[in-house]
Structure 1
Amino acid sequence: MYHQILMMWAILLMISCGRPEQRENIDFERWGSYWFQGNAEISSFDLMQYRYGEAREGTAVLVYVTEDFSRNNQVKLDDPRGAGRDAQTVLKLNQTRNFITGIYPYSMMTSVFTPVRELSQAVKITSSVQEWCGQSFIQLNLSSGNSYTGQLHSYFEQEGDESFAISGLAEDDLWNLIRIDPDQIPIGGINVFPSMMYQRFTHQQLTSEEAFIRIQDITPQRRQLELTYGSGKRTLKIDFRKEFPHEIMAWEEIEIMSNGQQEVSRAERKAVKVIDYWTRNSLEDEYLRRELQLQ
């Protein structure tokens, strides 16, 4: 009997050691009542995006949805039930920005995949840019802890095709952590690397630096996350609703240029819809774009 008890404890210890650390203090029954209903949340924004020293009017869209994701391959699973322990639930954000620079258009998209129940940073981040000069694509995959391996493919000779590694909290991950639970966001000084869109705008090597994060009430209904980089060159502010499900209402990106000029890009929400958009792909479904105020 004694040996049987020891065996049982050994098995339980092996199981617990192999189980990833879980997020705490989240009511997943309430959380799932919004996020596990087979729909996505789509919100549209009026965008004022600085590019080439001038403010450009445009449109931004945030698409949030939960998915079954492969731990090993870091891709959406085709057969979650058959995947066993390889399956994990992630919150996916697809953020798009579209605006015009002179004669030609910019189309940008970043995707962020963050585990819902497991205490983990975003496991994958991708971003692409298309404009008349060409296109580029960047991908980060979480390798361990807060360390990522990355690949950049660009039409610019100086960048070309390159591989790199980086550690720290991804700025792009903050958008998902707000929606999972704002209390999951580390407050105070922390090592952060900037968003993939910012990297594409600046074409600078992606590096992490000390930054400061705070969350404060700005109205009785809204809170604001403020991320300020130690260099003083960049600040991100994201406004969101206090109450669950903490909808994103606006954001502001402040960049200090080398000449001291301040460029402020802003977005303000204009419409939101919770819907299974992937089934709404016929001509008669185009009225939904009008409801989202998308031209």
Structure 2
Amino acid sequence: MKNNWILLTFLSLIIFSCGKAEREEIDFDKWGDYWFQGQAEISSFELIQNRYGEERSGEAVLIFVTEDFSRKRHVKLDEPDKAGSDKVSILKMNQTRDFVTGIYPYHMMLSAFTPTKEKSNGLKFTASSQEWCGQTFTQMNLNSGDKYSGKLFSYFEKEGDESFSVSGIMEDDLWNLIRINPNQVPLGSVNILPSLLYQRLSHREFVAEEAFIRIQDLSDNRKQLELSYSSGKRVLTINFEKEFPYQILAWEEIHVRPDGNKEITSAKRKGLKIVDYWKRNRVEDEFLRKELNLNY
């Protein structure tokens, strides 16, 4: 019994000492000079959001920032220096979309949390939508490998409050993988869960689908990620800078309706700023919004 206990203890120490696999072919010294400077990258976009069969002018914002995250609880750590092995560095993307349908507005937000150095799928994804009919909230948490557990809280009767699970990669993870390094994007055939914002607007079930990913050159300094679903109902393209830090320049989403008509949503960058926005909350800081060409 004593020998078994010693063996188990020894094996536990070996497993604990083995670090997580790291992402390869990335210059993390150069990467850290940009991302670990205690500021966020904020970019604003002119948004054309297709909703109810019509194009709506609006505004989108992408916020990228690194944080210390709890790998167990999937929340930002208040005291990372005391967290020990529970601490994991992540790149967070917040994407907001604001647009108006007739008399009432939509306010949508997507968040994605992806480990920076550790080779792992995104740990957590959330999406919320507020409009005058009501609000919804979706959260996905990585259990292990590519297995996610999810919860949906909705005011729609057919959806209600729902728990579900799904296996595959998350479309919403692709944005962060581009920013970490495009070589981290899985190419070719994939099993992928469509964007949480797309699912919110389409009310589709949370089911992973077959799709194909490729990255191609657009020009000497631009590349494009193209995600095409095998169903033929959805195509996402993301245009980004060819060189580090691979900033997002534009994106387009094509949804094919049952009658064959296409609904196109697009966004084009209009402003960018590197700033510690969480400290800029005074009236005198509102000039920064003008520098970003923000209207909403």
Q: TM-score range by the shorter chain?
A: over 0.9
* Separation (CA, whole Å) in 2 of partners of 1:17 and 1:225: 37
Shift of 1:22: 1.1
* Separation (CA, whole Å) in 2 of partners of 1:113 and 1:155: 26
Q: Which residue of 2 aligns with 1:3?
A: none
Structure 2 residue 187 is the aligned partner of structure 1 residue 195:
no
**179-188 or 15-24, larger mean C-alpha shift:** 15-24
User: C-alpha offsets along residues 226-248 of structure 1, whole Å, 9 cap, x if unaligned?
Assistant: 00001000000000000100000
Shift of 1:36: 0.1
Q: Which residue of 2 aligns with 1:139?
A: 139
Residue segments in structure 1 that go unaligned for 5+ positions in a row: 1-6
User: C-alpha offsets along residues 18-72 of structure 1, whole Å, 9 cap, x if unaligned?
Assistant: 4211111111000000000000000000000000000000000000000000011
Q: TM-score, normalised by structure 2?
A: 0.95
User: C-alpha offsets along residues 129-165 of structure 1, whole Å, 9 cap, x if unaligned?
Assistant: 0000000000000001001000000000100101000
* Separation (CA, whole Å) in 1 of partners of 2:94 and 2:204: 23
* Separation (CA, whole Å) in 2 of partners of 1:267 and 1:150: 28
Partner SS state of residue 20, structure 1: coil
Q: Which residue of 1 aligns with 2:282?
A: 282
| Structural mapping, 1:211-222, within 5 Å | 211-222=211-222
Q: TM-score, normalised by structure 1?
A: 0.95
> What's the C-alpha RMSD, in Å, of the aligned pairs?
1.4
* Separation (CA, whole Å) in 1 of partners of 2:253 and 2:70: 33
* Separation (CA, whole Å) in 2 of partners of 1:183 and 1:105: 38
Q: Which residue of 2 aligns with 1:66?
A: 66
* Separation (CA, whole Å) in 1 of partners of 2:109 and 2:99: 12
Residue segments in structure 2 that go unaligned for 5+ positions in a row: 1-6
Q: Which residue of 2 aligns with 1:264?
A: 264
Letter in 2 for 1:68: D
Runs of 4+ that moved beyond 4 A:
10-13
Q: Which residue of 1 aligns with 2:232?
A: 232
Aligned positions, number? 287
Partner SS state of residue 164, structure 1: strand
| Structural mapping, 1:149-160, within 5 Å | 149-160=149-160
Letter in 1 for 2:290: R
Q: Which residue of 2 aligns with 1:247?
A: 247
Q: Which residue of 1 aligns with 2:3?
A: none
Partner SS state of residue 118, structure 2: coil
Q: Which residue of 2 aligns with 1:120?
A: 120
* Separation (CA, whole Å) in 2 of partners of 1:144 and 1:197: 23
User: C-alpha offsets along residues 110-147 of structure 1, whole Å, 9 cap, x if unaligned?
Assistant: 00000001110100000000000000000000001001
* Separation (CA, whole Å) in 2 of partners of 1:183 and 1:13: 33
Q: Which residue of 2 aligns with 1:162?
A: 162
Partner SS state of residue 172, structure 1: helix
Letter in 1 for 2:278: W
* Separation (CA, whole Å) in 2 of partners of 1:147 and 1:11: 26
* Separation (CA, whole Å) in 1 of partners of 2:87 and 2:213: 32
User: C-alpha offsets along residues 49-98 of structure 1, whole Å, 9 cap, x if unaligned?
Assistant: 00000000000000000000001100000000000000000000000000
